[in-house]
Amino acid sequence: MQFRHVQGMEDVLPTDSGRWRRLEAEFHRTMQLTGYGELRTPVLEHTELFKRSIGEVTDIVEKEMYSFQHSREHLTLRPEGTAGAVRAYVQHKVASAEPVSRWYYLGPMFRAERPQRGRLRQFHQLGAESFGDAGPLVDAELIDTLYGMLSRLGVTELDVRINSLGSAETRARYRAALVDHFTPHAAELSATSHERLQKNPLRILDSKAPQDRPLIDAAPSILELLSEEDRAHFEGLQAALTELGTPYTVDPGLVRGLDYYTRTLFEIRSSAGDLGAQNTLLGGGRYDGMVRSLGGPECPAIGFAAGVERLLLALPPSPSPVTPLVFFAPLGAAAQRACLTLARQVRALGHVALVDGRGGSLKSLLRRADGLRAPLCVVVGESELARGEVQLKQLELHQQSSLPLDTAAQQLAALLDVLAAGSAG
Ligand code: HAM
């Protein structure tokens, strides 16, 4: 019997994890430079937390959560990171300790969706949440920061969409306007939209069904219903983005699939790379009511999350950098033990050292060093050991020399320093 991974939950093998690490490093650096600190929360939370924050009538809560009961607790594998971040913010009473908190996170999320390219059941998000600042400058700064990060990573054909849903009251008025608009035509709507008309009419605007298109195009725009404060906020966001030179499009049809949003909504899409239909790299928005509704104080907040797997599909292919390393080729048992010590010394000096303890002829050991593209290979046999030496072969340069055993590690490290500086430049 052979096991396979669960459908929609993939392995990342060492041949691929370098790309993940480079992406994560860029994200850590970007967020740290923008004053965000890293948050780590558990992957399991109480089911009720997601129902209360994401909303009962959303795809996630209705059909995509991995939930189970253990003993008397109802638990769910987190489908996203915002609910847990807000739960932690409220639980640790962070608002009373600092007026503004900026947090970022990365990790696995779980949604039982139909898997396809760019859509998984275990996927990974890079995300951030900023608490205590009502914006709109922080909104613009976040969008611009993400646009800059994606550009530095080499993602092209970026399309920034923004919208405003207004305050909770505006949203309620908009909901009523949509019900008025769609109800006389209910029979013409697709089955999904028909169902949404009762439960969550905003989500009709997200429908991909062709038969819904004419009715959606004729629907009232949220932007016509914004209050004066909502409008000032949205204009402030646009003015700041324009000043920063971040290109954007106002898209009144952008609603997003989570219920907690107020005012600013945004997404960044790309048609580059291998993305296919799932071309939304990241999405986010303001959720000024959630901290309060989860038992905290009145506290404005905004955040975003990006799908790591989607970002990797959008990235241009890049050859993985070759790490300079030293390969130890010992001939015989005493030499193998001596090489273990030498390798430890080289690693302590910050370089990669591999010892081949499988034995074999010098020829086969050298072939293995070649296979690993090791620039340095150290051969140690009984006669070298007796002389207190090791033999260094610089494979690419076809040069050979002897090094004293007691300073070999330092000399090897110095050579690797030079090689590393060369490959970095
Ligand atoms: P979301 O739009 O549900 O927002 O997800 C954000 C991103 O996660 C998506 O744009 C996509 O790149 C990725 N993603 C979502 N589902 C999948 C999937 N099944 N497979 C692969 N990638 C996926 C949120 O999660 C919000 N918590 C964002 C946020 C933070 N809003 C405010 N703060």
What confidence tens digit (pLDDT) does each residue in 26-78 have? 999 999 999 999 999 999 999 999 999 999 989 999 999 999 999 999 999 99
Predicted pLDDT at 407: 97
201 CB less than 6 Å from ligand 1? no
Conformational region of residue 328, where left means phi above 0, alpha means psi within -120 to 50, and beta covers everything else? beta
Q: What is the pLDDT of residue 273?
A: 78
- The protein residue whose alpha carbon is closest to atom 25 in ligand 1 is 80
Span from the CA of 140 to the centroid of ligand 1 (angstroms): 19
Q: What is the mean pLDDT of residues 141-155?
A: 97
pLDDT tier, 322 (very low <50, low <70, confident <90, very high otherwise)? confident
**Ligand 1 centre from 125 Cα, in Å?**
7
111 CB under 6 A from ligand 1? yes
* CA distance linking residue 33 with residue 375, whole number of Å: 36
164 CB near ligand 1 (under 6 Å) = no
**Ligand 1 neighbour 161 (Cβ under 6 A):** no
By the 8 A CB rule, do 353 and 413 touch?
A: no
Six-digit token string for 321: 């950098």
**Model confidence at 127: pLDDT above 80:** yes
**pLDDT, position 208:** 87
Instruction: Quote the pTM value.
Output: 0.94
Alpha-carbon distance of 193 to 374, in angstroms, equals 60
Ligand 1 centre and the CA of 127: distance in Å? Answer: 9
**Span 405-412, average pLDDT:** 97
Confidence band, pLDDT 50/70/90 cuts, at residue 425 = low
Nearest-CA residue for atom 30 of ligand 1: 304
* Other residues' Cβ atoms within 10 Å of the Cβ of residue 96: 9
CA of 67 to the centre of ligand 1 (A): 19
Question: 303 CB under 6 A from ligand 1?
Answer: yes
113 C-beta closer than 6 A to ligand 1: yes
One DSSP character per residue, 203-218 reads GGGG---GGGHHHHHT
Whether 388 and 359 have beta carbons less than 8 Å apart is answered as no
CA of 123 to the centre of ligand 1 (A): 9
Cα 258 to averaged position of ligand 1 atoms, centre (Å): 10
Of the pLDDT bands very low, low, confident and very high (cuts 50, 70, 90), residue 276 is confident
So what's the pLDDT on residue 257?
A: 85
Task: Specify the residue with its C-alpha closest to ligand 1, atom 31.
Answer: 284
pLDDT of 8 above 70: yes
Ligand 1 atom 32: residue of nearest CA = 303
CA distance 353 to 337: 14
Q: Which residues contact 220 (CB under 8 A, 6 or more apart)?
A: 174, 177, 178, 181
Handedness of CA 268, 304, 261, 46 (dihedral sign): positive
**Strand pairing partners for 304?**
128, 284
224: confidence class by pLDDT, cuts 50, 70, 90: very high
Helix H or strand E segment including 376: strand 376-380
Ligand 1, atom 8, lies closest to the CA of 307
User: How much distance in Å is there from the Cα of 216 to the middle of ligand 1?
Assistant: 24
Token pair 């003015």: residue: 239
End-to-end CA distance of the chain: 49
Does residue 249 sit in helix, strand or coil? strand
Pocket test residue of 12, 36, 109, 263 for ligand 1, highest count of atoms within 8 A of CB: 109
Residue 147 Cβ inside 6 Å of ligand 1? The answer reads: no
Which residue has a Cα nearest atom 23 of ligand 1? 307
Q: Is 269 in the pocket of ligand 1 (CB under 6 A)?
A: no
Give the pair of three-digit tokens for residue 305: 């999350």
Q: How confident is the model at residue 230 (pLDDT cuts 50, 70, 90)?
A: very high
- Ligand 1 center to 244 CA (angstroms): 25
| Residue (of 59, 318, 99, 48) closest to 200 by Cα position | 59
User: What is the whole-number distance in angstroms between the Cα of residue 256 and the centre of ligand 1?
Assistant: 10
Give the burial string for 233-269 (b: 16+ CB within 10 Å, else e): bbebbbebbeebebebeeeeebbbbbbbbbbbbbbbb
Question: Does the CB atom of residue 309 touch ligand 1 within 6 A?
Answer: yes
Instruction: For residue 422, name the pLDDT band (cuts at 50, 70, 90).
Output: confident
283 C-alpha to ligand 1 centroid (Å): 6
Whether 281 is in the pocket of ligand 1, judged by its Cβ within 6 Å, is: yes
Residue type, 48: E
Averaged over 244-249, what is the pLDDT? Answer: 98
